[in-house]
Amino acid sequence: MYRVINTLDYKSENKIVHEYTIMQYMNDNGHEVTTLHRSHDDVWAEGRRGEEVIKVIDTGDMVIFPKKEFAGDVGYDKIAELYILLHFINKTERMPMYEGTIEEIIPTHTIEI
């Protein structure tokens, strides 16, 4: 079990907020399951605390999202939650998904023909 601490939204208040919890376990098929849950802290409405947000099942060949959460319109909150979970998986799994850099390309000289 891992705690996800929000350090961005509460920076000006110098506050530490436990926003999510990540849990990992093996399911009955022997696949690793990673879930992101809302914390039980008071940053969430009482009825939303502890709620499962995203589940990812790693079969060894692919990753399965059991719900169709990313079809159609996807809110910024879902994108942030997906980012948290994928970043966690990338940093903790035996096979990282990706590592690299992104560089901005700025044209320095243009020739018209």
CA separation for the pair 21, 37 (Å, rounded): 5
Nearest one of 2, 58, 69 to 27, comparing CA atoms: 58
Lowest average pLDDT, out of 19-23, 47-51, 100-104, goes to 100-104
Residue 86 has phi, psi (to 5 degrees) of: -65, -40
Q: Which helix (H) or strand (E) holds 84?
A: helix 76-92
Sign of CA dihedral 7, 20, 3, 61: negative
Contact in structure between 65 and 54 (CB atoms under 8 Å):
yes
Quote the pTM value. 0.80
Render pLDDT for 34-77 as a digit per residue (tens, 0 to 9). Answer: 999 999 998 899 999 999 999 999 998 888 888 887 788 889 99
